[in-house]
Amino acid sequence: MNVIIICESARITGGAERVAVLEALEFRRRGIRVGFIAADPIADPRLAEAGVELLLLPAKSVFEESDNQKRLHMLFSNPYVAEPVREFLGNFEPSTTVVHIHSFRLKLTGAPIALAQSLGFKTAFHCNEYATICPTSLYFNHRTQANCELSPLSLGCISCECQGQKWRHKLPKLTAHFGNKVLLKLYDRADLFLAVSQLNAKTLAPHLPKQPVIVNYPHDYPQPEDRGDNDGNEFAFIGRLVPEKAPDTFLEAAKLAGIKAVIIGGGPMEESLRQKHPEARFTGWLSDAPLKAEMKQIRALVIPSRWRETFGLSVVDAIHRGIPVISTTSVGASEVVRESGAGIVTEEITPNSIAEAMNTLSQPQQWSEMRANALAWSASNPRSTEQYVDRLTELFTPLVK
């Protein structure tokens, strides 16, 4: 079996890219031939060192292209990546190769996938977001700050200004999604859809031609020295500061509960949150070493997301480090919080409900029990890259000779 990975970036710039790079390296470690197609001129150096065959395309999205004629051609797909992809795919035998798609929507578009399917390659979509069903990929209405329940590409979907911008900004995404789904029939021709949580699978299932299969994300198991006593007194929010992630709800809840709050991350809401909550500590985005130092101290992690998050890697990272978690049911990883007993899952996304959970978790006995549950779950559920690739091998092998 050979594997070709398609991902917008060949560097670790986010969760999907991290999983794609780790997957490529682990397959190569097992002696499997791996190709990697990315719209990125720079790749993680470990890929080339491991013998991964790279196709790095200087592709632009329709939003970045300044040539109007090219932009018009790119409304439904990106024809400018087709020839190099065709040449690259020609080096692999379709009957023995699975094309695994992690992300493709903006720069690569559906062109490489359609080409692979037309040449007879088996294709598997990894549903890190909701790009397989939603034109904007988030399945979220930014105007109402609520999860979308519309049928994708229905009249209601097409006419909805769900991005908090003028409708014309949604038009290229609508046409691209229409092209992928209706013209290229990418999803009808797909062999596998991989979901990353039960919530993710449940959301996707009504809109896909095949039932999604759940595959747990791989995770870097922390070294013993990376675990601290978590004896600080701060509850932490980690992530991008955007309304759908609800950092404002987190800070208001901490204020109600009288608990010290730290924000690790950045984004459009940062300045307004700093002004409104001078009592909180803001670190900005942190590199690896400072982040590890913070994780040794924080008392608990709070994920109050309004958006129907497919998973939430920071949740498992915290649990592996013995850090209890407060999560809303809108987060896919809340399933891990419930399974492990390492925190509290709240139905309501309000300052009062989050504050109540904070007060419960701030009690020493409750915190100690949940920390012990976190460490026990971590010991028996490493969720390693090896286990992840074992699962992919189990799913991919029946597809090829």
User: Which string of DSSP letters, residue by residue, matches 157-180?
Assistant: HHH--TTSS-GGGTHHHHHHHHII
Contact (Cβ atoms closer than 8 angstroms) between residue 153 and residue 177:
yes
The rounded distance, in Å, linking the Cα atoms of 395 and 39 is 27
Higher pLDDT, 40 or 60: 40
Q: Dihedral of CA 209/214/217/218: which sign?
A: negative
Question: Is the pLDDT confidence value at 317 over 70?
Answer: yes
Give residue 273's pLDDT band: very low, low, confident or very high (50, 70, 90).
very high
pLDDT, residue 72, reads 58
Selection from 249, 271, 272 nearest residue 261 by Cα? 249
* pLDDT exceeds cutoff 70 at 62: no
- More confident: 250 or 128: 250
Q: Tell me which of 74 and 183 has the higher pLDDT.
A: 183
Q: In this model, does residue 78 exceed pLDDT 60?
A: yes
Q: How far apart are CA 4 and CA 36, in angstroms?
A: 6
Both tokens of residue 227?
């675990």
3-state secondary structure of 386: helix
More confident residue, 163 or 147: 147
Average per-residue pLDDT for the chain = 91
* Chain position carrying tokens 């896909």: 208
Helix axes 351-361, 247-257, angle to 10 degrees: 60
Lowest-confidence range among 61-75, 100-114, 298-312, 327-341?
A: 61-75
Query: What is the arithmetic mean of pLDDT over 86-111?
Result: 92
Angle at 370 between CA 364 and CA 371, to 5 degrees: 85
Please compute Rg for the chain using Cα positions: 22
73 pLDDT above the threshold of 60: no
pLDDT, one tens digit per residue, over 360-375 is 999 999 999 999 999 9
Calculate mean pLDDT across residues 264-281: 96
Q: Give 157-195 pLDDT, tens digit per residue.
A: 999 989 877 877 788 889 889 999 999 999 999 999 999
Which helix (DSSP H) or strand (DSSP E) does residue 326 occupy? strand 325-328
- Please give the DSSP secondary-structure letter assigned to residue 271: H
Sign of the Cα pseudo-torsion (72, 77, 83, 88, in order): positive
* Residue 154 confidence (pLDDT): 94
Residue 146 forms beta bridges with which residues?
141
Give the DSSP letter of residue 321.
Answer: T
* pLDDT of the residue at 222: 79
Hey, what amino acid is at 97? T
Q: Which residue segments constitute the domains of the chain, with CATH numbers given?
A: 2-218+384-399 (3.40.50.2000), 224-380 (3.40.50.2000)
Using the 8-state DSSP alphabet, how is residue 43 labeled?
B
pLDDT tens, position by position, 211-234: 999 999 888 777 778 888 888 899
